[in-house]
Amino acid sequence: MSSVQGMRKCPKCGGTLFYDMNCRTTEVYEMCLRCGYQQQCILLRNDDGTVKIGDDGEWLMDCKETVGYGAARLCRKEGIGGIYAFENPLSTEDQAALIEDLHQPDTDEGSYAVLFDPQSGAFTVLAGSLPEDYTEEDDG
Ligand SMILES: [Zn+2]
């Protein structure tokens, strides 16, 4: 295994942020399961594929943040499903399609769809229940 996955608190909404870090390259992908905030850090590379090195000898990285407009988790009872972050506000049609999808008989209970307004910080639940704030696991 060369990658570490885990959860931490979302800097935008306080929800649960999923991260996946490559230990070898330190490249990171993060996604909030509630507001849809995403951050991706990738190494800058030269034309020959080698990593670009900064003046201080550190690897140069390019980090990109994407504001989220909400997220959805769609799980089927057979265990197939996925988590989606909305990078743009959903149209009324998209919302209707999503709600219909989440009300299919084979949709698992843990499924949800929430919209997030980055300006006001308000959530609108389309289906399911709003994911709770992230809480630190008590390691004992
Ligand atoms: Zn968030």
Mean pLDDT is highest, among 1-10, 40-49, 74-83, for 40-49
Instruction: Tell how far the Cα of 86 is from the centroid of ligand 1, in angstroms.
Output: 12
Q: Are 3 and 29 in contact (CB under 8 A)?
A: no
Question: pLDDT-derived band of residue 118, with 50, 70 and 90 as boundaries?
Answer: very high
Give residue 11 CA to ligand 1 midpoint distance, Å.
7
Q: Of all helices (H) and strands (E), which one includes residue 70?
A: strand 70-75
Listed in sequence order, the residues at least 6 apart from 111 whose beta carbon sits closer than 8 Å to its beta carbon are: 72, 73, 74, 75, 81, 102, 127, 128
* pLDDT level of residue 139 (50, 70, 90 thresholds): low
Q: Is 104 left (phi over 0), alpha (psi -120 to 50) or beta?
A: beta
CA of 70 to the centre of ligand 1 (A): 8
Pairing of strands 70-75, 61-66: unpaired
What local confidence, expressed as pLDDT, does residue 26 receive? 92
CA of 133 to the centre of ligand 1 (A): 9
Within 86-131, residue ranges assigned H as helices are 92-102
Question: What number is the average pLDDT over the span 107-113?
Answer: 93
The pLDDT, as a whole number, for residue 77 is 87
Quote the ligand 1 centre to 94 CA distance (angstroms): 21
Mean pLDDT of 49-73: 96
- What pLDDT does 78 receive? 85
Whose CA is closest to 32, among 48, 54, 10, 51? 10
pLDDT in tens, 20-29: 999 999 999 9
